[in-house]
Amino acid sequence: MEYKNIYILAIESSCDDTSAAVLCNNTKLSNVVAAQKIHEEYGGVVPELASRAHQQNIVPVVHQALAKANIDKKQLSAIAFTRGPGLMGSLLVGTSFAKSMALGLDVPLIEVNHMQAHILAHFIKDENNLPPSFPFLAMTISGGHTQIVVVRDYFDMEILGETLDDAVGEAFDKSAKILGLPYPGGPLVDKYAQLGNPKAFSFPKPKVGGLNFSFSGLKTSILYFVQKMTKDDPNFVSEHLNDLCASIQYTIINILMDKLKKATKQTGIKDIAIGGGVSANSGIRKALKDGEKKYGWTTHIPKFEYCTDNAAMIGIVGYLKYKQGIFTDQGVTAKARYVI
């Protein structure tokens, strides 16, 4: 039988990154991301501004993705897009664009769940990494989500635990804000943490049962601690920035690792994959590698490009669904809350 290449154009617009990618089968040909700088001034994502920026970015981003992949739109086999979860105003831009483009080109439309995509990003072909094998545990850690999921097959996933309040990325960003660092503060906390003592200060770990997470209490205890210390010494934060960042990061990683260890014990699964922006954190990467030696885990950490929000991860889901003939009707609407 003649082998026909499948070309997917994928669109991601769930939060504050407008992204388009082209995949040929499971290989990424292009992955263009336009990050929205406007939110930095506000210390967080402003939904109204995000949707306006998506509308401005989407056409040039799609053009660039096609040009970089050296693909003409007439060659496309299908259009994949993020249906949810995410900010409604942001999702609407990508959803409407994808629907129109699929209609115009008369190709199938494929809806993608953003959280499934963070997990299935591990199946984008990568010369240096093997994909995880089923069943595996996925821990998705980002600015919007914190989940531990058991993945039995591409589209057979079950959430074992998730955050009851803030996401882990928010815990990093909000702690950074308390320390006077700009948004998003996660990468800066990571940078300063590497120069500090993780045991300089201790913060309480939340008492949440099962495999669920909670991070809002940690944020409050950091706030009270910093307020108390700066009363006596106004320069407390600047004089102890490295130690504060190291101690905050140490506490957050301990919370994540405790639950991950519990999940491996509960399921007997030792194949672990992480995803989401916080996977870039040097401490969590090290903790996972240590787990390989200590607990016999096999761990999978995606390339940074596939950790943060990007359309290539939407494209791989598009490809997997295309192969199974799972297509979406033109009547589809965006879904702000969308369980995997």
Angle at the Cα of 275 (from 5 to 40), degrees rounded to 5? Answer: 105
Please count the residues of this chain forming the interface with ligand KG4, following the rule CB under 6 A: 18
Spatial strand order of the sheet with 156-162 comes to 156-162, 146-153, 136-141, 271-275, 298-300
Q: Are 175 and 222 in contact (CB under 8 A)?
A: yes
Q: Are 313 and 120 in contact (CB under 8 A)?
A: yes
DSSP 8-state symbol, 67 = H
Query: Among residues 84, 94, 161, 186, which is the contact residue for ligand KG4, using CB under 6 A?
Result: 186
Q: How far is the CB of 111 from Zn ion (least distance, A)?
A: 16
Listed residue (221, 223, 213) closest to 165, CA to CA: 213
Query: Could you say whether residue 314 binds ligand KG4 (CB under 6 A)?
Result: no
Binding window for ligand KG4 (CB under 6 A); candidates: 152-160, 181-189, 263-271, 295-303: 181-189
Query: Could you say whether residue 309 binds Zn ion (CB under 5 A)?
Result: yes
**Token pair recorded at residue 243:** 């130690």
Sign of CA dihedral 257, 260, 262, 264: negative
Query: Could you say whether residue 196 binds ligand KG4 (CB under 6 A)?
Result: no
Q: How far is the CB of 144 from ligand KG4 (least distance, A)?
A: 4
**Token pair recorded at residue 331:** 């009547």
The residues with which 19 forms a beta bridge, in sequence order, are: 12, 33
Binding window for ligand KG4 (CB under 6 A); candidates: 24-32, 225-233, 255-263, 277-285: 277-285
Please count the residues of this chain forming the interface with Zn ion, following the rule CB under 5 A: 2
Query: Among residues 43, 47, 135, 187, which is the contact residue for ligand KG4, using CB under 6 A?
Result: 187
Query: Could you say whether residue 142 binds ligand KG4 (CB under 6 A)?
Result: yes
Query: Among residues 36, 163, 308, 328, which is the contact residue for ligand KG4, using CB under 6 A?
Result: 308
Task: Please confirm whether the linkage preceding 184 is cis (ω < 30° from 0).
Answer: yes
Query: Could you say whether residue 198 binds ligand KG4 (CB under 6 A)?
Result: no
Residues 144-163 touching ligand KG4, rule: CB under 6 A, are 144
Instruction: Indicate the helix (H) or strand (E) that contains 119.
Output: helix 114-120
Burial of 185 (0-12, 13-18, 19+ CB in 10 A): buried
Query: Among residues 142, 247, 279, 328, which is the contact residue for Zn ion, using CB under 5 A?
Result: 142
What is the binding site for ligand KG4 (CB under 6 A)?
15, 142-144, 169, 172-173, 184, 186-187, 190, 276-278, 280-281, 308-309
Residues of the binding site for substrate: 140-144, 173, 186, 190, 281
